[in-house]
Amino acid sequence: MLADELVLVANLVRGQRQAALATIHNGLPNVAMVGYAAEPDFGAVLLYLSRLAAHTRHLLADPAAALLIAEPDDRRDDVQTLARITLSGAAQPIEPGSAAFAAGQACYLARLPAAEMLFSLPDFVLFRVVPREARYVGGFGRIYTLTPALLRQAASATMLPAEH
């Protein structure tokens, strides 16, 4: 994988705040839109989810999860050229009151500050989704499978300047 592709992966993961979350329920896939925050080293993605949501109950029963993060549709002719990455792994709840919870909460709120009020509600669960692999598609002929080590390398890649 080329170094500039790693920068594109970093920009994509850090540039979005919502993802499609795939879970498993009764052997069938289920997909929901969720907010997320990536840990600085891309070692995990944090989700803060209500127990009232079906996808939260699915993750508590079966931690298998995948997150699809995609560029927003900019109305280009070929939507298949929009960059996207799927992070596949396991979602583990973080124990409230732990140091890991405090660190996860800080990371999540740095990315999604409007969620602060939710942390006062008792029915939410903070999950760490630890990717076992990622599949990046940057357009035609730009398809890569990333290991956790390559994700960490992407996290440390130099960011491209924001476009105005």
Q: Give the Cα separation of 13 and 98 in Å (integer).
A: 26
Q: Pseudo-torsion of CA 31, 50, 94, 17, nearest 10°?
A: 60
Q: Quick one: pLDDT at residue 62?
A: 97
> For the segment 35-57, what is each residue's pLDDT rounded down to a tens digit?
999 999 999 999 999 999 999 99
Give the pLDDT confidence of 141-155 residue by residue, as tens digits. Answer: 889 999 999 999 999
Instruction: Output the average pLDDT for the chain.
Output: 93
Smallest Cα–Cα separation from 119: which of 93, 96, 91, 100? 96
In contact, 33 and 49? CB cutoff 8 Å: no
pTM of the predicted structure, to 2 decimals: 0.91
Measured between alpha carbons, how far is 1 from 44 in angstroms, rounded to an integer?
21
Helices (H), 112-161: 148-155
Query: What digits encode the pLDDT tens for the residues 84-114?
Result: 999 999 999 999 999 999 999 999 999 999 9
